[in-house]
Amino acid sequence: MDSRPIIVVAADHGLRRSVAFALEVEGYSTESYDTLQKAGASCREALCTILDDDILRSESQAATRLLQYLGARAVLLVDGLSALQAHVDNTILTKPFSGPDLLGVINSLIEAAR
């Protein structure tokens, strides 16, 4: 398994903790942040970065730049009502989602990167 962490960025503590827990149970290393500013350079070195749509709204310029930089290594968590659109290579995961849904997305990203 890749030793680089998966970064989780979400304003909601419960969501951050739930996503991190689901990944850690499967053996992934995670780092969690409540803002993109705090996540900073960690995103650039990560296996992938999971961004909640609330962060995309509150830090839109920084999020847009990061999503363009990360490309396929970004996963957007959106609700069914979100008007946000993914960039070409970003993956969308619609809330609510299950642990297997999340792991399926992460495993697909890892496979595609090989």
pLDDT per residue as tens digits for the range 70-110: 888 899 998 876 555 555 578 889 899 999 999 999 999 88
76 to 1, 33, 56: CA distances (angstroms): 23, 15, 9
Strand arrangement of the beta sheet that strand 30-33 belongs to: 30-33, 6-9, 48-52, 74-79, 91-95
Confidence band of 33 (pLDDT split at 50, 70, 90): very high
Cβ–Cβ < 8 Å for 17, 27: no
37 to 3, 15, 92: CA distances (angstroms): 23, 18, 22
| pLDDT at position 32 over 80 | yes
Q: Residue 107: helix, strand or coil by DSSP? A: helix
SS3 assignment for 42-85: HHHHCCEEEEEHHHHHHCHHHHHHHHHHHHHHEEEEEECCCCCC
pLDDT mean over 26-30: 95
The torsion angles phi and psi of 91, rounded to 5 degrees, stand at -100, 140
pLDDT per residue as tens digits for the range 2-25: 789 999 999 999 999 999 999 999
pLDDT per residue as tens digits for the range 58-68: 888 888 888 88
The domain spans of the chain are 6-113
Q: What pLDDT is attached to residue 27? A: 95
Residues in the chain: 114
Q: Which CATH number fits domain 6-113: 3.40.50.300, 3.90.980.10, 3.40.50.620, 3.40.50.2300?
A: 3.40.50.2300
